Structure 1
Amino acid sequence: MGKTLDNAYKYQSLAYKYVLYAVSVALIVFFFPREGKFKYEFQKGKPWQYENLYAPIDFSIKKTDEEIAEEQRFIRENKTDYYSYDAVVPKEVKASVEQELTTIFRQQSEGNRFEQRIRNLADSTIDSIYKYGILQDMPMADAVFIIKNNEAITVSASNLTNLSDARQKIQQIVRGSNTRNIPLATLIGRVLEPNVFFNKSLTEKALEEEMSQISFTRGEVSEGRLIIAKGEVVEDENLKVLNSLKQEYESELWRGDNFLYILLGYAILVALVLMMLFLFIKQYRSEVFKNNNKLTFIFVNILLMVLATTLMVKNQENYVYVVPLCILPLILKNFFDARLGLFVHVLTVLILGFVVPNSFEYMFLQIIAGIVTILTGSELYRRANLFISVGQITLIYIIGYFAFHIIHEGNLEGIEWTLFGIFVLNGLLTLFAQPLIYIYEKIFGLVSDVSLLELSDTNSKLLKELSNKAPGTFHHSLQVANLAEAAANEIKANSMLTRVGALYHDIGKMNNPAYFTENQTTNINPHDDLPPKESAKIIIDHVIEGIEIARKNNLPDRVIDFLRTHHGTTTVFYFLRKQQENEPDTDPQDFKYPGPTPFSKETAILMMADAVEAASKSLKNPTYQVIDDFVEKIVKGQMQADQFVNANITLKEIEVVKKVLKQKLTNIYHLRVEYPE
């Protein structure tokens, strides 16, 4: 029955991996832009490496975005403003002037001929002033269109006038006429009103119409025409033709039934890349491959990077470097190791190379930035290290872009300074790795160096409780932590994880602290009143009880692994021998720890350090030779009991660990000079 359940679990786990693989391939292909891929790679300033290229179809030469933007700018700067002419205002002005003159002539006894001449002069002056109208605000353009009687009349700026200019013009007209004591210029100037107003809606409509007439192409290329010859340098003119052919080719390629073949091609390439990832993890990171939670975590990060980049390519292609791709190796290195982080980063960049513009340049910069991330992004729990790493990544982007620009242009002109701002923004977004690590810990139940640093604080709730309830065990754990950390550093294991595991490995002793010798402060031993079998059970149960306490306090599984394995499947020899004195046929299995045996370098180091430190308390007159033989005996016994067969630790590394333990114990038990009393 148990074998059947094991097989079912095994096949269920394998089936999940297949589903994860298939779903990841499908999602990545779904994220990709809906267009084909041009079969030629080319860059400005580099020779054409293929055979002579002839136009396979008729196509238009498309203008660049810069050319279109320049045309739009020119139209905006030279647009024609439209003004509306109000014909009612001149009539109202004439009526007001007529009324004023009638009042004046009633008070004065002038002749009819003079009166008529003044009225005619007033009317002609007003007509002259309002010939093109009076503007409220003078335009900036050299000429405008004035809508008068439903007709648009082009008027030069020199013929336009405002209220101030109109009053001066009236003074000039009236000055040469004999008006006697009639203040005609003042009278007309007082009642003048503007009658030409800017027509915003009509102006904008005309601008839109001009904009809509901009051509996005500038010529045609006929089928069969030579576009570029082999070895010819790709320069401005043929670069535009090649880019136009590329756009036409990719859009044509996606039409009809071709898109099914394109999807199939993308799916095959992405499947190959992800298969390489699976094979790498299975071959070199078997513990990660067996853990579906960790596999899911890796693939979720890849999918997020692909999604963010493809969305940027579809919407703002020029800002593709805003996506902080270096977050990926930073996070994976923090949770796993540098090699896995770099491998996943490179494969992700290969996938994105299918869709990003200037794929060679993009892949080069991203891979170099990823390598710098791996080399510099260590100990992220130290905030300064993260800032230094991000600064170096940003600098690599800037230097790389600068070098590519020189290669393409041959000079320093035309540098897009906005890209430097984009690289800085990329660096700022990379700083988000810190809170993202915390979020991932909560979602996937993983543990990072940041969390390990928090757990290593001896003022934490659980370690304080251990120091209060079992001070001897707490002191023993500190000693073991120091030994294990030093050994882990020497063989390049995870020293932070090893130290934290050592600090918590014996928390199960808090339930019955008096039954463990390090906590016994008197000569009274409670085991003296218990049968050996029951005493052994209490000793062995501290492992299970420790796991329960750890789970209640939400310790990470990677730390709980140290509690489970620090005694492996060893035997409590002392109580076994006592039991065998009374019952020679005693089953040794009743006196064995439940296991499992250590399955990593870190847990193996803890088992050696724990056994050596605990047994060292029995040394009465320690010398270097005594300590050397003592360590060799304990570790040899563990190896003969097959405690390290599942751990990825080599014999050479075990020898290094023993050497460190000997040195540390020699320092602890060094002989002191006897001072005279």
Structure 2
Amino acid sequence: MSDFINKLYKNQALFYKVFLFVLTSVLIVYLLPKGGKFKYDIPKGKPWQYENLYAPFDFAILKTDEEIAAERQDITRSHIPYYNFNTEKPENIKEDALQEVQNVFPDTTLNVYETIIDDFVGETVDRVYEFGLLQESERLGPDQSVYLLKGNEASEIAYRRILKQGEIRSFISDEISNAGFSSFKTELLEVFFNSIEPNVTFNNDLTQKELQSKLNNISYTRGIIEQGSRIIAKGEVVEGNKYNILRSLKAEYESQVWSQSNYNWIIVGYSGLVALALLMLLLFMRKYRIAIFENNVKVTFIFFNIIFMVMLTTLVVNFNIDYVYVVPLCILPLTLKAFFDARLGLFTHVITVLLLGFIVPNSYEYMFLQIIAGIVTILTVSELYKRANLFISVGQITLVYIIAYFAFTVIQEGNIDDMKPEVFLTFLLGGLATLFVQPLIYVYEKIFGMVSDMSLLELSDTNSKLLKELAEKAPGTFHHSLNVANLAEAAANEINANAMLARVGALYHDIGKMHNPTYFTENQTTSVNSHDELSPRESAQIIIEHVIKGIEIAKKNNLPDRVIDFIRTHHGTSTVYYFFKKEKEANENTSPEDFRYPGPIPFSKETAILMMCDSVEAASKSLKEPTSVLIDNFVEKIINKQMEEGQFLNSNITFKEIQMVKKILKRKLKNIYHLRIEYPE
């Protein structure tokens, strides 16, 4: 039982990767659409490259978006609006008008003409309200039909037959003139204007309800294709009605209700493809990025980003497929390049795009655009911490999207008339969303404890609290660290290593010397040497201890692990040779292990560069009268000794790169000591 537990413990990292692999696969499969997948691409405007296609079942032909839009427009244009007719108001108004006759006309007139005037007023009110009086001005054409609602009955009439408020004066004036009452026109107009008011109102709710009902009843199909009918023959051009029929078949196929058995097989198929894609990513890391593969936090980070992009794309597709290009997919390679390298970023991007091909329509077009955009992202953004570089890259990514979309549209349509300007807006929005990568990287650093070049740029500021403390407590060490940082940066640039990381590592590699600064020669300002009162063993322990103290100070100040690695490895497993030799003179049996740094040896190009630069810069202070030849031999001797001790075996640095570093160090040291070529006399 104990052996089994030990085996589990030893392989816990592997078990975690298996668990992460399975969990990621399950989550992605869960997010994928579960309908059937149409097995043919529909190349609009191109010949049909597959075998003759026959209808596998009966299905309806879908109308195009343009046909449906035109039909909706026709329905909206021809829709008859509803108006409410108040049947009680005319009777009340007639009574009010007759009462107004008594108030307006003098008694002398009423004694003679009251009956005639009352009859005229009553008949005129009836004519005014025959089809009603409407307050609004002309909103419809005169020949437009409307429904006039009287209670529960609706009658269709021409809109012009309803009297408008603006027409009432001329209408009544004409009635007065035609009846021969011109002599009483002023009084009659006063009667009517004091009593008449609109009784017809527009019924917006019923009008919109009826319109929506008609729009909802639009048929989205036209015609039926029977099972067994030939849809298209090999070599026929996919265009016009053929394209619509193929599009209809694809939609019907993918929307069918599948049986439980079919559904299970679809899940199995998706699981196999997703697992295969993720397995390729793991194998890539295991073969070419073993350090990342062995770090479970980094593997988790990569898989999390894939899930995040798949989830974000799924949400956008479910919300509105037209916004699929707003998803800033190029954030993925940008993020991975910031934390790891360009090749891993691009490989992961391609794997993610392949998985998204199951979700989006026009998958070939989508994958082509996204892969090209990912390549452009990797090629253009070299230093993400420089804001100008990011803006330039976003502009180039957006331009690539636009050019590719333009090309696809021309190929499919044969012209540019069907170009959709709103698509260009989605590309622009997607490009702007890519700028979110900087705050996202900051969040990732806090969550996953990793460090990017942007954080390294902040750490390289010599006005930071820790470096100012180093300059105050150990000024000689601070000056030494600055010199080493300059050398390391130049060497890293020469062999295409991470120059920013090498510089930051060099700035902080000796912060442990703040603990006992006077025990290190660069900080001794007098002729008194603190080591004179100590034995060689004690002196060696103090010197070695600066590595341990440096790690403690770094962790206390929350320096990233990538920077702490430089503190751990900058002396590797070398010996404090001066005190070892001094002790050996007194005791021949002295073991070098007592004078050896704890290590580990450098395990990256950057840490190897620091070891070389640190040793060379520190030892160069002992040169009394440096010459060009002396410096060349001096650099060769120090670095060759480190190679003989096997200090660079784990650092993935080649002999050629070491030679290039030597060349840089020689040149830089000659510049420091202002050496010139000696010309012959």
TM-score when scaled to structure 2? 0.95
Structure 1 residue 125 corresponds to structure 2 residue 124 = yes
Q: Is the 8 A contact 2:42 2:247 kept in 1?
A: no
- Once the two structures are TM-superposed, the CA of residue 6 in structure 1 deviates from its matched residue by 8.7
Q: Is the 8 A contact 1:326 1:373 kept in 2?
A: yes
Residues 442-470 of structure 1 show CA distances to partners (whole Å, capped at 9, x for unaligned) of 11111111111111111111111111111
- Once the two structures are TM-superposed, the CA of residue 33 in structure 1 deviates from its matched residue by 2.0
* Alignment-derived partner of residue 235 in structure 1: 239
The separation in 2 between residues aligned to 1:103 and 1:249, in whole angstroms, is 80
SS at 1:108 equivalent: helix
Structure 1 residue 289 corresponds to structure 2 residue 293 = yes
Deviates more, 1:448-457 or 1:148-157: 148-157
* Alignment-derived partner of residue 21 in structure 1: 21
The separation in 2 between residues aligned to 1:155 and 1:439, in whole angstroms, is 67
- Once the two structures are TM-superposed, the CA of residue 75 in structure 1 deviates from its matched residue by 2.1
Q: How does 1:178-327 map to 2 (within 5 A)?
A: 178-179=180-181, 181-182=183-184, 183-252=187-256, 254-327=258-331
What stretches of structure 2 of length at least 5 have no aligned partner?
none
Structure 1 residue 52 corresponds to structure 2 residue 52 = yes
The separation in 1 between residues aligned to 2:49 and 2:585, in whole angstroms, is 88
Residues 507-560 of structure 1 show CA distances to partners (whole Å, capped at 9, x for unaligned) of 101110111111111111111111111111000000000000010111110010
The alpha-carbon distance between structure 1 residues 178 and 640, as it changes in their structure 2 partners (threshold 3 A), is closer
The separation in 1 between residues aligned to 2:257 and 2:117, in whole angstroms, is 81
- Once the two structures are TM-superposed, the CA of residue 275 in structure 1 deviates from its matched residue by 0.5
Q: How does 1:62-81 map to 2 (within 5 A)?
A: 62-81=62-81
Alignment identity in percent? 59
The alpha-carbon distance between structure 1 residues 110 and 30, as it changes in their structure 2 partners (threshold 3 A), is closer
The separation in 1 between residues aligned to 2:103 and 2:194, in whole angstroms, is 16
Equivalent of 1:412 in 407, 411, 416: 416
The separation in 1 between residues aligned to 2:110 and 2:501, in whole angstroms, is 115
- Once the two structures are TM-superposed, the CA of residue 106 in structure 1 deviates from its matched residue by 7.6
* Alignment-derived partner of residue 539 in structure 1: 543
Structure 1 residue 400 corresponds to structure 2 residue 404 = yes
* Alignment-derived partner of residue 169 in structure 1: 171
The separation in 1 between residues aligned to 2:66 and 2:100, in whole angstroms, is 61
SS at 1:153 equivalent: strand
Residues 119-155 of structure 1 show CA distances to partners (whole Å, capped at 9, x for unaligned) of 3222222211211011121442512110124211111
* Alignment-derived partner of residue 98 in structure 2: 98
Q: Is the 8 A contact 1:501 1:563 kept in 2?
A: yes
The separation in 2 between residues aligned to 1:664 and 1:23, in whole angstroms, is 52
SS at 2:370 equivalent: helix
* Alignment-derived partner of residue 556 in structure 2: 552
The separation in 2 between residues aligned to 1:132 and 1:568, in whole angstroms, is 103
- Once the two structures are TM-superposed, the CA of residue 4 in structure 1 deviates from its matched residue by 10
SS at 2:336 equivalent: helix
The separation in 2 between residues aligned to 1:366 and 1:64, in whole angstroms, is 27
The separation in 2 between residues aligned to 1:323 and 1:87, in whole angstroms, is 59
- Once the two structures are TM-superposed, the CA of residue 184 in structure 1 deviates from its matched residue by 3.3
Equivalent of 2:514 in 507, 510, 514: 510
Deviates more, 1:253-262 or 1:331-340: 253-262
* Alignment-derived partner of residue 381 in structure 2: 377
Q: Is the 8 A contact 2:104 2:191 kept in 1?
A: no
The alpha-carbon distance between structure 1 residues 185 and 665, as it changes in their structure 2 partners (threshold 3 A), is closer
Q: Is the 8 A contact 1:170 1:189 kept in 2?
A: no
Deviates more, 1:116-125 or 1:490-499: 116-125
Q: Is the 8 A contact 2:61 2:248 kept in 1?
A: yes
The separation in 2 between residues aligned to 1:636 and 1:185, in whole angstroms, is 118
- Once the two structures are TM-superposed, the CA of residue 380 in structure 1 deviates from its matched residue by 1.3
Residues 339-387 of structure 1 show CA distances to partners (whole Å, capped at 9, x for unaligned) of 1111111111111112211111111111111111001111111111110
SS at 2:179 equivalent: coil
Q: Is the 8 A contact 2:572 2:599 kept in 1?
A: yes
* Alignment-derived partner of residue 12 in structure 1: 12
- Once the two structures are TM-superposed, the CA of residue 333 in structure 1 deviates from its matched residue by 0.8
Cα RMSD of the aligned pairs, angstroms, is: 2.1
The alpha-carbon distance between structure 1 residues 645 and 27, as it changes in their structure 2 partners (threshold 3 A), is same
Look up the equivalent residue of 2:367 and give its one-letter code: M
* Alignment-derived partner of residue 134 in structure 1: 133
- Once the two structures are TM-superposed, the CA of residue 70 in structure 1 deviates from its matched residue by 2.9
Deviates more, 1:131-140 or 1:337-346: 131-140
* Alignment-derived partner of residue 333 in structure 1: 337
SS at 1:227 equivalent: strand
The separation in 1 between residues aligned to 2:59 and 2:527, in whole angstroms, is 99
The alpha-carbon distance between structure 1 residues 168 and 672, as it changes in their structure 2 partners (threshold 3 A), is closer
- Once the two structures are TM-superposed, the CA of residue 292 in structure 1 deviates from its matched residue by 0.7
Q: Is the 8 A contact 1:569 1:592 kept in 2?
A: yes
The separation in 1 between residues aligned to 2:561 and 2:465, in whole angstroms, is 18
Q: Is the 8 A contact 2:25 2:274 kept in 1?
A: yes
- Once the two structures are TM-superposed, the CA of residue 110 in structure 1 deviates from its matched residue by 6.5
The alpha-carbon distance between structure 1 residues 179 and 252, as it changes in their structure 2 partners (threshold 3 A), is closer
- Once the two structures are TM-superposed, the CA of residue 88 in structure 1 deviates from its matched residue by 1.6
Equivalent of 1:436 in 434, 437, 440: 440
The alpha-carbon distance between structure 1 residues 109 and 393, as it changes in their structure 2 partners (threshold 3 A), is closer
Q: Is the 8 A contact 1:330 1:341 kept in 2?
A: yes
TM-score when scaled to structure 1? 0.96
- Once the two structures are TM-superposed, the CA of residue 67 in structure 1 deviates from its matched residue by 2.8
Deviates more, 1:205-214 or 1:656-665: 205-214
- Once the two structures are TM-superposed, the CA of residue 64 in structure 1 deviates from its matched residue by 2.9
Q: How does 1:455-604 map to 2 (within 5 A)?
A: 455-604=459-608
The separation in 2 between residues aligned to 1:596 and 1:562, in whole angstroms, is 10
Residues 616-665 of structure 1 show CA distances to partners (whole Å, capped at 9, x for unaligned) of 11122222221122111111111111111111011111111111111111
The separation in 2 between residues aligned to 1:444 and 1:619, in whole angstroms, is 46
Residues 172-212 of structure 1 show CA distances to partners (whole Å, capped at 9, x for unaligned) of 12213344854435423432111111122221222222122
The separation in 1 between residues aligned to 2:93 and 2:211, in whole angstroms, is 34
* Alignment-derived partner of residue 615 in structure 1: 619
Look up the equivalent residue of 2:134 and give its one-letter code: L
The separation in 2 between residues aligned to 1:347 and 1:405, in whole angstroms, is 26
Aligned residues between the structures: 672
Equivalent of 1:159 in 143, 158, 161: 161
Look up the equivalent residue of 2:33 and give its one-letter code: P
Look up the equivalent residue of 2:32 and give its one-letter code: F
What stretches of structure 1 of length at least 5 have no aligned partner?
none
